[in-house]
Amino acid sequence: MKVARWLIGIAGGVLLAMWLFVVFGSRTPVLREALLAALRDKLDADVELQSFEADIFPVVRITGDGLRLRLRDQRERRPLIEIAHFEVQSGIRGLLQRPRRFKSVTLDGLKITIPPRSGHDRESGNAAAAETTDGPIVIDQVIAHNAELLLIPKRVDKEPKRFDIYDLRLESVGFNRSMPYNATLTNPVPKGLIVASGSFGPWRATEPGDTPLKGRYAFKNADLNTIKGIAGTLSSEGEFSGKLAEIDVRGKTSTPNFSIDVGGRPVPLQTEFHAVVDGTDGDTYLKRVDAKFLDTPLTATGAITGQPGVKGRTIKVDVRMENGKIDDVLRMAVKSPNPVMNGALALETSLLIPPGPSKVADRLQLNGRFAIQEGRFTDPAVHTKLVTLSRLSQGKDADDASGRMLTGMRGEFSLENGLVTFKALTFEVPGADVDLAGDYGLRSEQLNFAGTLSMQATISEAAGGGVKGVLLKAVDPLFKKPGHGAVVPIKIHGTRAKPEFGLDARRIW
């Protein structure tokens, strides 16, 4: 009986091998056409294949070269998917199952080109139904090395966004299912390595941008020097979900050495953000960004988008700072070993960075207002001048104690082409109010302001009494204004390091 079972087993094995040889060994053209038909049907695509071979010993092995898939209504000249060479492996048992199951597929020279959305909405129920239906083929694992992903923007004049994918692994791959994945790829700007894992699919053949995806990412050691005008090393991690054309991203970033090219020392910068990214063209909409550098927090909302006919992207953001520190801002924005002033800062501004080849600092545009409370100038030269101004404005002698020299400052400002223009700048010291308008060069550090000094004392009182004070009583009426002892036209010029304060004689008469 045992011999009989052996003979039956051997005979069965021989018959199965003969059947597989007939099916796979002699019907390679039929298998080729079956593969092409499945791809055409499930991906709604036109398919080209240069070469195809199938072997069954010692394992089932299928190879091919020059596979190209193009969506039937696709306007983009590049194929949706290009594969230079592929190899499929399976066991005998997997081929006899329904759906047919393959152990692995290895892809060389994979290029994926995602076209922009057509704008044709699909019912969400279609995607949900697709997730519950298996296609005719399931692959345990798909592996691709040194692949390339191109995202084609909606605007025909814009260059595609390219990602080099060093390693991509998909599990439980099928036409109509969500597929777990692990990927390692490079981000072009800022340049750095992204490691991501999650799930992708099911594939939406008629509208690739509607393909669902979710997962987590880690972005390590991104080089901000690849963005002209700023520097630092950024790391970020977070999670994302949604569909390829509308990815909801939440995460954190850390840049321990963030700096701008017109600024002073690098400062640590951390952010938490919520954004929506159009994965088909890279446009990003910032729902909220909570940032902190040194001891200064701020919030921002806005968008990073492309413009028709223009290379690059436009950054447009609204920034709000309620409990900031002016010395933190000066450390980052002004070339100086120590900030010239400290104090509490509140700020609101719109921020615009148009695209272009020049550095960020040269393209940066601001328009807003600010207020500084209990400001104190740390620069000895500036402090001495303000002490003198305060004493004179109160009619005090030069040797009288000045007390704490606290300054309140507020104003409206704009920045363009590296020049800060103050439409209205006011600050107070004990005994005096100063109203100014003018500009300051971020690169040249040149001051150019004109305005008025309103004092508690009259001109003669500010002179300190004596013969000089008596002689100046004659001009007191000339500078007298209601509610003030004297209002004097002044100017401030020179450089940040050596400011010069003086009477603007041209505006006296």
* Cα gap 23→232, rounded to integer Å: 61
Nearest of 61, 57, 138 to residue 97 by alpha carbon: 138
Looking at residue 124, what is its pLDDT? Answer: 41
* Cα gap 170→182, rounded to integer Å: 7
Q: In the chain, how many H helices and how many E strands? A: 10, 24
What number of residues does the chain have? 509
Looking at residue 199, what is its pLDDT? Answer: 92
* Cα gap 329→263, rounded to integer Å: 10
Q: What are the DSSP E strand ranges found in 91-160? A: 100-114, 137-151
CB 80 within 8 A of CB 45: yes
Apex 122 CA angle, 40 and 274, nearest 5: 115
Looking at residue 356, what is its pLDDT? Answer: 80
Nearest of 316, 402, 404 to residue 354 by alpha carbon: 316
CB 251 within 8 A of CB 239: yes
Q: What is the pTM of this model?
A: 0.75
Q: What are the DSSP E strand ranges found in 279-335? A: 284-293, 296-306, 313-325
C-alpha pair distances (Å), 506 with each of 429, 436, 490: 25, 16, 10
Looking at residue 260, what is its pLDDT? Answer: 78
Cα dihedral: 315, 319, 325, 330 (round 10): 30
CB 453 within 8 A of CB 393: yes
* Helix, strand or coil, per DSSP, at residue 287: strand
C-alpha pair distances (Å), 130 with each of 45, 127, 203, 240, 317: 18, 5, 9, 22, 39
- DSSP 8-class letter at 507: G
Domain positions in the chain are: 97-369, 379-507
C-alpha pair distances (Å), 66 with each of 27, 48, 82: 20, 7, 7
* Cα gap 315→305, rounded to integer Å: 7
Looking at residue 123, what is its pLDDT? Answer: 41
Q: What is the pLDDT of residues 25-45, one digit of tens each?
A: 445 676 677 777 777 777 777
Nearest of 205, 201, 204, 194 to residue 238 by alpha carbon: 194
CB 172 within 8 A of CB 149: no
Provide the residue-wise pLDDT of the chain in tens; the chain has 509 residues. Answer: 443 344 334 333 433 443 444 444 445 676 677 777 777 777 777 888 898 887 766 677 888 899 888 877 766 677 888 999 989 887 666 555 666 677 888 989 999 887 766 554 434 434 433 443 455 677 888 898 889 888 777 666 667 777 888 889 988 887 678 889 999 988 877 888 899 999 988 878 777 778 898 999 999 888 888 777 778 899 999 999 998 778 899 999 999 998 877 666 788 999 999 999 876 666 789 999 999 999 999 999 999 887 766 777 788 999 999 999 988 888 887 776 777 788 899 999 999 988 888 877 788 899 999 998 888 877 777 777 777 777 777 777 766 655 556 678 899 999 888 888 998 888 888 888 888 899 988 778 888 998 888 888 777 777 766 666 666 677 767 777 777 778 888 888 888 777 787 776 666 65
